[in-house]
Structure 1
Amino acid sequence: MTDYGHDLVFGTFVTPSNRDPQQPVRLAQAAETAGLDLVTFQDHPYQPGFLDTWTLISYVAAATERVHLAGNVLNLPLRQPAVLARSVASLDLLSGGRIDLGLGAGGFWDAIESMGAERLTPAQSVTALEEALEIIRGIWDPGERRGLRTSGEHHRVTGAKRGPAPAHDVPVWLGAYKPRMLRLVARKADGWLPSLAYLKDGDLARGNKVIDEAAEEAGRHPAEIRRLLNVQGAVAPARQGFLQGPVEQWVDELATLALSDGIGTFVVATDDPTQTAVLGHEIAPAVRELVARERAAAGTAPAATRRGRAAIELRRDGIDYGAVPAALASTAVEPGDRAYDTVRHNYLRSGAPGLVLRPRDATEVAEAVAYARAQDVPLGIRSGGHGISGRSTNDGGIVVDLGSLNAIEVVDDATRRVRIGAGATWSQVAEALAPRGWAISSGDYGGVGVGGLATAGGVGFLGRTYGLTIDHLVAAEVVTADGRVVRASATEHPDLFWGLRGAGGNLGAVTWVEIEAQEVGDVVFSQMTLDATDTAGLLERWGKAVETAPRELTSFLILSPGRRGNGPVAQLMTVWAGDDTVAAVTQLERLADAGPLLGHEAYLLPYSGVVQAAAKQHQGGGDPAVRSALVTHLDTATARAFERVAASGAAYFLQVRATGGATHDVPVEATAYAHRRQNFVLSAMGSSQEQLDMLWDAEMASHTDGLYLSFDTDTRPERLDEAFPGPTLARLRQVKRDWDPTNLFSANFPVPPAE
């Protein structure tokens, strides 16, 4: 008896006949309608009666919404590995993570050779497949910055650019029968995909034994390799043979294959939509129910909890890996997992967490928080992972990644209220709202996650016109430290709602926010470069121009210190919140007077064109030290101090963001973000925290009036008083006492609960 505990997957094996080109498409759609998980297609490129399988998969991906798609199996000798890797990754991105990869070494060599491929011996074809796997995996690994180089006997690349990464961790299944191929499955693949028609009695057990032994030799647990099986049969009124009979017979025989031979995925060869419907509506649910009942009685552990020796050796102290909730285990990522490098880091911060949990809804977030509370390691909550402070990753702790909670839904057209999942990015929000002529002020970069910015403040390109992002927050769903899922608003838990707007990371895991969008059509977006030789003078003149400009104008300034014989330059990124280009040009000309103009481009475009889409796969960025400060005016003394910071060499990136305007309309006591009189946020980024702290304290401390916590990596306790002025901090500590008395959420400027 062999049962690896895999969750059961059901799919179909469709003939890609071109007699009626739309028939395979309709069959795939029928499988999706029936609730099946997977549709696969034969791949015989030399068969003139078939559609090209890859073209068909691409077409079907656009004609379906949920079902996964794969070749069964793709003919590797006729599909160049590096190009195939990019094809799979591209279609996986376009389909929302629905492409899987079945590969075969090649079987019908006369036909393959007739298409121009080199004939290989069985041994050579296995070697070629192993080389191809290395290339495919390498192309899918953009986290490795070096070009991909392999010099195999049959496949080689010499410095190929890596990427893109697929939308999900694409499993690779190999069609295999002989021992050498089975051992390759055990070492390098994610699944074994034979066809029952090609197997003799006992071949499944013998194949499993070879794979299991080779997997253990490679440090893998046998359950890390999914067992798939292509089967044929027909639903009939009476028993006529194996899988030839009534639904009850199918259920018993498929369940036996799952429980006795470890099959986790059943792929039924059928071009009959009626049988497809029966498989999805009747057979699959009954098999799942029967197998779940038998597993419960036998105490079978889920496959996701079984780890090989190599993976176990990388586990971290303080985490009970065996206690990960079942709902989270299948998507959890540990050190050593192939997906680990895609989730460990943030945009600018390297991380090495011991476990990354990826919940799919608020209930699973609550399970993740409850589990993390019972562990003896740090906890980070991640929405987009862009945060400059890097507090949503850690070393050896747990990260709860909310990236799957990314739905965007209009709740009320009249008030323009939009419900946004914490894991969405602001570029996705802008794109979703653009057709309605709506927008939400949201920072300056499309890759920023909603959850972090919508609870910290939100100093954005529409800020002087509409205020901070939090100023339009009307409700939020929060998972609290004790595992409850609550809604916070002005009338529901108003104390929590107050604290979420400016200190949300200290009070819970926000799963969605409701925000009232603004009516925003096209805007003017300007990018201007100025000579900053007179840095202090430029800052002072630019600051005055911004402060006295109409609220429609919001401008950010990036200062690049002089280096390698080149003088300092300032780049202005400015938005005029409207389509009045005459008024915009008037104000942009005032900004241009701040210093000698080196270049200028301006565009009239939707707000979604300003906060453009950006990749969410982060690789860290040198772990920079960052300091920030709020100031009311860029007066002479402040400008000169910032100039000295820029000239010191301790900072390689400096920025000034305009805030003010509508931000000042909100009373200081209305939100936990209490900085309602300042007009600018200053920040500097360097390589050494100690060096930057000494410089910043010496030059800027006497000129500043608070800080913006999302732009600061200084963790000394006195920073807390700057982030939250006296009365605000006192009230915030009381809210913290009520909602997180044990300080579970302590990664983001930890606020000590009131006694």
Structure 2
Amino acid sequence: MNPELSTASAALSGKLIIPHDNKYREYRSTYTTVGSPTVVAVPESAGDVAAALLMARERGLPLAVRSGGHGLAGSGTNDGGLVIDLRRLNKVTVLNRRKRLVRVEAGARWAQVAEALSPHGLAISSGDHGNVGVGGLATGGGVGWLVRHFGLTVDRVRAVEVVLTDGSAVRADASNEPDLLWVMRGAGAGAGIALAFEFEAVELRNVGYAQLVARVDPAGQVLQRLDSALKDAPRELTTALMLSSQGSLTSAFITAVVATDDEHVIRRAIEPLLGIGEVALQQAVITPYTNLVPREHMHSNMGQMRSSTTNGLITDLTPAAARAIVAMASGPTPAHVQMRSLGGAVSDIDPAATAFPHRHQRSLVIASAFPPYGHEALGKAWEPVAEHTEGAYVNFVSNPDKATFDQTYPGTTGARVAALWERYDPEGILRPDN
């Protein structure tokens, strides 16, 4: 072992990975970023996490925390620091089937969660990829395939088990540490290290699933018609759209998920989508929810998806906003553009109830650029769209700064988040800008 780490707590014996270890390549990086940490700690308990925090403090090592490693900012790794990798904390337990109360450890992947809950006829509204870790998503928001019917992932969190930066273990719920619960539901990355969540799951086995392709006009009228259809759609319907341009032709690839196995509701939700323009229905099936976040998604993260990503929230898709989105997708900077539907159950929650305050907006627009195009090129391409957005979502920001903080946590929400980060992490060791 590296002599500098020879005094590590006995609790971490066999749980430290350093550059000379065979496993180091598998543990050094995230999905987007290749890191070179001095050491990776792989804890199995709250005590292990506390020991890793102490090690980082004693050695003066920068700290990174990782659940699944899909964070676009790459903050789940670093160079020359200590990484706390939570992958061994991955248990999923049904605590009370009647109340649908489920405990999920932060290092689990959503594929594992869906697979474990399926025999019980339960699901948790999560992201849209099975390899994403629970911890990062469930502390940031959680926009996924069930969002319009069951809300954000944070909306289903009833308690969080947290290790604070002083090493103390705390349970945050409505009665105990309610301020910590509030900040962990939307802005948890700067307050503490989440080890486990208690969720109120939902009754769900099968869903309607459809894939459609639509030709997109330069004026973006197809996007506006989709927006109008979603205003009147059953809450069970959630859509995700990807724009792709080849020359003068822009196409929208639409995935529609209907959170029920009722064929009548599925038909009623999907049929209006066929009327938004030149649309081809590629497939429509009823399928288990586990097929949306399958175990096949799980892979090692080796920094394979270098990218720059930004996003914004839109309440009403005006003609000018629709034109700007299409122009960005078909412009000189190749941009991967997505649109996710919101509204429905998301809007039921008081904006002040969690650290995710964006409750009235109905669309999330995400833009990514890949090498050789970087953050600066993406920013220029994004500017015309940004004029029509209000607010941003923390989990789709690759270059967080003061401006994106203010967009993500505006006004009184941002003031409260900053105050609670200062209270629970006064040294700022969880904040990447520290």
Tell me the TM-score normalised to structure 2 length: 0.95
Distance 1:591 1:372 in 2: 53
Instruction: Identify unmatched segments of 5+ residues in structure 1.
Output: 1-304, 308-319
Match of 1:518 in 2: 202
Within a 5 Å distance, the mapping from 1:559-708 to structure 2 comes to 559-562=243-246, 565=247, 567-613=249-295, 614-687=297-370, 688-696=374-382, 698-708=383-393
* Shift in Å, 1:484: 0.3
- Supply the AA of the counterpart residue of 1:536: G
Distance 2:327 2:2 in 1: 57
SS in 2 for 1:477: strand
Residue pair 2:109, 2:133 contacting (<8 A) in 1 also: yes
Distance 2:49 2:5 in 1: 17
Match of 2:431 in 1: 746
Instruction: Identify unmatched segments of 5+ residues in structure 2.
Output: none
The alpha-carbon distance between structure 1 residues 551 and 380, as it changes in their structure 2 partners (threshold 3 A), is: same
* Shift in Å, 1:407: 0.5
The alpha-carbon distance between structure 1 residues 368 and 535, as it changes in their structure 2 partners (threshold 3 A), is: farther
Distance 1:622 1:518 in 2: 32
Distance 1:631 1:375 in 2: 45
SS in 2 for 1:703: coil
- Supply the AA of the counterpart residue of 2:134: V
SS in 1 for 2:249: coil
Match of 2:95 in 1: 411
Match of 1:347 in 2: 31
Distance 2:354 2:50 in 1: 26
Q: Identify which range, 330-339 or 356-365, moves more after superposition.
A: 330-339
Distance 1:437 1:715 in 2: 38
Distance 1:535 1:611 in 2: 34
SS in 1 for 2:220: helix
- Supply the AA of the counterpart residue of 2:431: S
Match of 1:725 in 2: 410
Distance 1:571 1:395 in 2: 38
Distance 1:364 1:605 in 2: 40
Residue pair 1:650, 1:691 contacting (<8 A) in 2 also: yes
Residue pair 2:220, 2:322 contacting (<8 A) in 1 also: yes
1:540 aligned residue (224, 242, 263): 224
* Shift in Å, 1:437: 1.2
Match of 1:392 in 2: 76
Match of 1:281 in 2: none
Distance 2:127 2:424 in 1: 28
Kindly indicate whether structure 1 or structure 2 has the higher relative contact order, using CA contacts under 8 Å at least 6 residues apart. 2
- Supply the AA of the counterpart residue of 2:309: V
Distance 1:616 1:332 in 2: 21
Q: In the alignment, is residue 709 of structure 1 matched against residue 394 of structure 2?
A: yes
Match of 2:163 in 1: 479
Match of 1:553 in 2: 237
Match of 2:21 in 1: 337
Higher helix share: 1
Q: In the alignment, is residue 509 of structure 1 matched against residue 185 of structure 2?
A: no
The alpha-carbon distance between structure 1 residues 681 and 597, as it changes in their structure 2 partners (threshold 3 A), is: same
- Supply the AA of the counterpart residue of 2:272: R
* Shift in Å, 1:731: 1.1
Match of 1:530 in 2: 214
Within a 5 Å distance, the mapping from 1:146-545 to structure 2 comes to 305=1, 320-534=4-218, 536-545=220-229
Tell me the TM-score normalised to structure 1 length: 0.55
Within a 5 Å distance, the mapping from 1:31-180 to structure 2 comes to none
SS in 1 for 2:283: strand
* Shift in Å, 1:682: 0.7
Number of residues paired by the alignment?
A: 430
Residue pair 2:11, 2:47 contacting (<8 A) in 1 also: no
SS in 1 for 2:213: strand
Distance 2:344 2:58 in 1: 45
Distance 1:344 1:389 in 2: 15
Higher strand share: 2
Distance 1:322 1:486 in 2: 29
Report the identity percentage. 39
* Shift in Å, 1:337: 2.1
Match of 1:144 in 2: none
Distance 1:415 1:678 in 2: 30
Distance 1:566 1:329 in 2: 59
Distance 2:425 2:414 in 1: 15
* Shift in Å, 1:534: 4.0
* Shift in Å, 1:434: 1.1
Deviations 1:415-450 (A, max 9, x none): 110000101111111111111211111011111111
- Supply the AA of the counterpart residue of 1:391: S
Deviations 1:47-93 (A, max 9, x none): xxxxxxxxxxxxxxxxxxxxxxxxxxxxxxxxxxxxxxxxxxxxxxx
Residue pair 1:350, 1:622 contacting (<8 A) in 2 also: no
Question: Considering only aligned residues, what root-mean-square deviation do their CA atoms show, in Å?
Answer: 1.7
Distance 2:316 2:139 in 1: 26
